Amino acid sequence: MSRLSEGGLIDRSKPLAFSFDGKAMRGYAGDTLASALLANDVRLVGRSFKYHRPRGIFSSGSEEPNALVELRDGARREPNSRATVVELYDGLSAASQNRWPSLDFDIQSVNGLLGPLLGAGFYYKTFMWPAALWEKLYEPLIRRAAGLGRAAEAPDPDSYDRSFAFCDLLVIGGGAAGLMAALTAGRSGARVILADEDFRFGGRILAERAEIDDAPSLAFVERAVAELAALPNVRLLPRTTVFGAYDGGTFGALERVADHLPLPPAFTPRQRYWKIVAKRSLLCAGAIDRPIVFGGNDRPGVMSAQALRTYAVRYAANPGKRAVVFANNGYAWSAAFDAAEAGVDIAAIVDVRPEAPPIQLERAKRRGVRVIQGGQVVATSGRLLSSVTVRSATGEEKIAAEVLAISGGSSPNVGLTSHFGGKPVYRADIAGFVPGACPPGMRVAGAARGDYSLARCLAAGAAEAAEAVSELGFSAYATPVPQARDNAITVTPFWHVPGSRGPAFVDLQNDVTAKDITIAHTEGFRAVELLKRYTTLGMATDQGRTSNVTGLAMMAVLTGQDVGATGTTLFRPPYTPVALGAIAGHHRGKDFRATRPTPTHDWARAQGAVFVEAGLWLRAQYFPRPGETDWLETVNREVTATRTGVGLIDVSTFGKIDIQGPDAGAFLDRVYINTFSTLPVGRARYGVMLREDGIVMDDGTTSRLGERHYLMTTTTANAAKVYQHLEFCLQVLWPELDVQMASVSEQWAQISIAGPQARAVLEQVVDGLDVSNAALPYMGVAQGTVLSGVAARIFRVSFSGELGYEIAVPARQGRRLAEALMAAGAPFGITPYGTEALGVMRIEKGHVSGNELNGQTSARDLGLGRMASTKKDYVGRVLSQRPAFLEEGRVSFVGFKPVNPGDRLRAGAHFLPHGRSGTTANDEGYMTSVAFSPLLGHWIGLGLIARGTERIGESVRAYDPVRGGDIPVEICHPAFVDPEGERLRV
């Protein structure tokens, strides 16, 4: 065990068992998986993406490029989990990834065959080779060799939640600056959300030995968190990563609610996806250490200086027996001193600067730490790091060490500031990029702005928060800023050790080397965006947080430009990876969309109905009976029963729009092709409406219930679209019309009964209403009551072609009405039918439906052109008269029957003249709807074919190459049943 004997923010009274690659280990509450692995002497954690090189743990945060593991097992297996941010829990199991056959012995790495194939530009160069080779040889080879973890194959058993939050100030990051900001804003009364990706607030303070107000800095954190937790206007969101900044002050955040537990507790999601709307935001996301590039810098044991300090101080985990620190800045020195204080054996501090600041030298001397000034690490050795070779003025020297802690300077976490395209700006004095233009309303404080001093982080957090909430009208009274002392930190830009030995990695996660940067330069891919795509620098899951700046600085050296002019690539959301499951939330499986049952749903289910999704609704598709062997048998029975007796179907799903006002009739005249202002009260009329481009939008019957009162019905699928269109017409096109509208689709249950016995059934449910043919003729509308006092509207309309009535009652009475009609119809053998039988009957009758109103057809195409009034204007009129719509060769709507009555028709088949090949040039149209007609005893179809109405009786090929169909069909009139409509009028 490499657990330091004391210290750390771990709870030694709470040991936790976990396993890595099947081996049992122990850690403590407060550990991350990475700190626990290090404390268990695990230094080799994974294999690299392309070259399968052994890798260890590089960082202690979410920027980790190396230590990606598979977490959990089975359906919960989660690939590419960064061990550095995985909070340890009892029973955690993790496995290394991208290795074969084992982590210790990996064949891909040993043979190294693919190395030459995978260098800079390999995507482009490899594609240049013969395509056959690529597909058969290289791609499978590369796919097997390169990769990350394996996704779980079973459905995720956990749930994911979504929440919305609103605040005045969102503080992103709960370190020194963030805590002071939240305190300042919170005390002013502003609504504050403080989010931190860590499971513990405090940021750098957790890992640095510092004093605030002459007391250990942790005491400040505890006080601040306690005060914030007690403020009712402050919401603390630990374990929450703000991953994206979006328009209008909207932020995406991911809260890991139960990732730190073996299983989510009951009624608790694993993760919660927050949409936070903030009037102002303050980014206090800190900064990270970036590496220096030299040969052998990827060996397990090489880590950032910040990581060494964090593991030693925060987790009391010693990453290795002896540590060498290699840096170009003073911050790494204090990291070394903190680690030494915690118990790490620091063999030497190697600084590239010929002269380190005297105060640092003095501190090193006091602690007895050896210092090599003007030194560079030129090589490392050991499969796991065992020694480093340092070159200095006195020559080369090999120093035994298991840890090499490196720091090439700090990179502020500017990610979120560039989500709106703001380009980070280079500051030479800190050798780092700081935020440029920020998203509206965003400020930055502390290390994220390049301000690394603890004292200034505290002050800036308070000051920025005070300004932000003052802008919103809150008075932020002067919060006393706690005092901290720290020394000025200096940094000398240094990126790459020239002449070092062995592969030198820039991007550890995507295995991009210094040589790749050189190749990109040689081959002309010098602009940062080209460099990125050519080498894949920064394109891995970590978005190059530890590699971008170094990579582009090296390019700057090669091109002779300065780093600032070279610029940097932009970060995009998400800041860290977000699981798709969290974004989907509850919207998966059956909950992908809301289920809308009809008013008679439960009744239909009790009748054994099979349901189908129709638009947003769930409708009864058919009602199988015992002994029926397939759906067609059932549907045939339902159709026959309706045509010979009486059938019943719930048609509540049709859109219903209540339209009232003095100008209601005039309004309808403008949206329908036919006229409604002349419709008598108590009558219904079939109407067709167009889009302004002349294509049919929708159809349905509209009834006149009163002088100024109409009720429109729309198709099920277009209900919302038509309503929106009508509102557009009313508000945008003709606001002068005095009309009011409301959607009443959900308010009314509507049940259709159809068949020769329909009237006999209806008579038994109405409260003394005369529904005789004379009193309520075809297309008549009556209002009254049914079932002893239930308000009802009765429409004598028919989709099936039989004598039919649609009875509308308040939605809650729907089931009662269905049951009453079933009881009344029992002597006539009333039969409930579903959408299939309805479809068969409408095809037999030759009515158009969704398949024909397909966004390509005009009213004329569908044989409805004669309905169009020539005495008025209406939406779509002008453009429906375009020459192409009136062309002679245009398709028209007709029926089709198989020449050989046994042949089955297929919707989607295309029509060809006999003797012509199946090419687009010979295409004459297509079949839109088909059904088996029990009445006729064979399949029938509807479709669109060129000059169809002139070709009744002609035979053509119905060609269906997808399903291997090619049969002769005869063009016929689309109404197969009762073309004169006599049955409707009895």
Using CB under 8 A as the criterion, which residues of the chain lie in contact with other proteins when the complex forms?
Answer: 246-250, 277, 420, 440, 692-693, 720, 724, 727-728, 731-733, 735, 740, 873, 877-879, 881-882
Decide: helix, strand or coil at residue 3: strand
User: CB-wise, 440 or 498, nearer to other proteins?
Assistant: 440
Compute the distance between CA of residue 58 and CA of residue 104 in angstroms, rounded to an integer.
18
Distance of closest approach, residue 618 Cβ to other proteins, in angstroms: 22
Three-state secondary structure readout of 387-418: EEEEEECCEEEEEECCEEEEECCEEECCHHHH
User: CB-wise, 483 or 881, nearer to other proteins?
Assistant: 881
User: CB-wise, 681 or 878, nearer to other proteins?
Assistant: 878
User: CB-wise, 249 or 624, nearer to other proteins?
Assistant: 249
Per-residue DSSP letter, 790: E
User: CB-wise, 248 or 627, nearer to other proteins?
Assistant: 248
Which residue is associated with the tokens 């928060």? Answer: 465
Residue 883 to residues 863, 878, 880, 889: CA-CA distances in angstroms? 17, 11, 9, 11
Q: In what order do the strands lie in the sheet with 395-400?
A: 376-381, 387-392, 395-400
Decide: helix, strand or coil at residue 37: helix
User: CB-wise, 501 or 721, nearer to other proteins?
Assistant: 721
User: CB-wise, 291 or 876, nearer to other proteins?
Assistant: 876
Compute the distance between CA of residue 289 and CA of residue 295 in angstroms, rounded to an integer.
19
- Residues 505 and 293: beta-carbon distance below 8 Å: yes
User: CB-wise, 462 or 726, nearer to other proteins?
Assistant: 726
Per-residue DSSP letter, 516: H
Closest alpha carbon to 781 in 880, 858, 713: 713
- The per-residue b/e assignment along 419-447, b for 16 or more CB within 10 angstroms, e otherwise, is beebbbbbeeebbbbbbbebbebbbbbbb
Distance of closest approach, residue 721 Cβ to other proteins, in angstroms: 10
The separation between the first and the last C-alpha atoms of the chain, rounded to the nearest angstrom, is 94
Residue 328 to residues 333, 374, 454: CA-CA distances in angstroms? 9, 9, 20
> In the structure encoding, which two tokens stand for residue 959, read together?
């060609």
Distance of closest approach, residue 275 Cβ to other proteins, in angstroms: 8
The residue count of the chain comes to: 986
Closest alpha carbon to 434 in 280, 568, 552, 242: 568
- Residues 49 and 511: beta-carbon distance below 8 Å: yes
- Residue 319: which residues within 8 A CB-CB, separation 6 or more? 2, 38, 43, 57, 301, 303, 307, 308, 311, 312, 344, 402, 403
In a 10 Å sphere around its CB, with 0-12 CB exposed, 13-18 middle and 19+ buried, how is residue 154 labelled? Answer: exposed
Give the bridge partners for 491, in sequence order: 329
User: CB-wise, 228 or 695, nearer to other proteins?
Assistant: 695
> In the structure encoding, which two tokens stand for residue 687, read together?
């109407």
Distance of closest approach, residue 247 Cβ to other proteins, in angstroms: 4
Closest alpha carbon to 141 in 109, 120, 113: 113
User: CB-wise, 735 or 968, nearer to other proteins?
Assistant: 735
- Residue 959: which residues within 8 A CB-CB, separation 6 or more? 909, 910, 911, 912, 918, 965, 966
Distance of closest approach, residue 249 Cβ to other proteins, in angstroms: 7
Rounded CA Rg of the chain: 37
- Residues 244 and 573: beta-carbon distance below 8 Å: yes
User: CB-wise, 558 or 666, nearer to other proteins?
Assistant: 666
Distance of closest approach, residue 758 Cβ to other proteins, in angstroms: 37
Compute the distance between CA of residue 940 and CA of residue 914 in angstroms, rounded to an integer.
20
The amino acid occupying position 25 is M
> In the structure encoding, which two tokens stand for residue 121, read together?
């530009």
User: CB-wise, 248 or 395, nearer to other proteins?
Assistant: 248
Distance of closest approach, residue 730 Cβ to other proteins, in angstroms: 8
Closest alpha carbon to 751 in 803, 687, 684, 811: 811
Distance of closest approach, residue 439 Cβ to other proteins, in angstroms: 10
The amino acid occupying position 892 is S
Compute the distance between CA of residue 171 and CA of residue 437 in angstroms, rounded to an integer.
18
> In the structure encoding, which two tokens stand for residue 87, read together?
């909070």
Distance of closest approach, residue 728 Cβ to other proteins, in angstroms: 6
User: CB-wise, 882 or 973, nearer to other proteins?
Assistant: 882
Distance of closest approach, residue 885 Cβ to other proteins, in angstroms: 12
User: CB-wise, 542 or 663, nearer to other proteins?
Assistant: 663
User: CB-wise, 247 or 707, nearer to other proteins?
Assistant: 247
User: CB-wise, 122 or 874, nearer to other proteins?
Assistant: 874
**Sign of torsion over alpha carbons 458, 464, 465, 466:** positive
Compute the distance between CA of residue 536 and CA of residue 390 in angstroms, rounded to an integer.
30
Distance of closest approach, residue 437 Cβ to other proteins, in angstroms: 10
Distance of closest approach, residue 732 Cβ to other proteins, in angstroms: 5
User: CB-wise, 262 or 440, nearer to other proteins?
Assistant: 440
**Sign of torsion over alpha carbons 115, 116, 118, 120:** positive
Distance of closest approach, residue 695 Cβ to other proteins, in angstroms: 11
User: CB-wise, 178 or 439, nearer to other proteins?
Assistant: 439
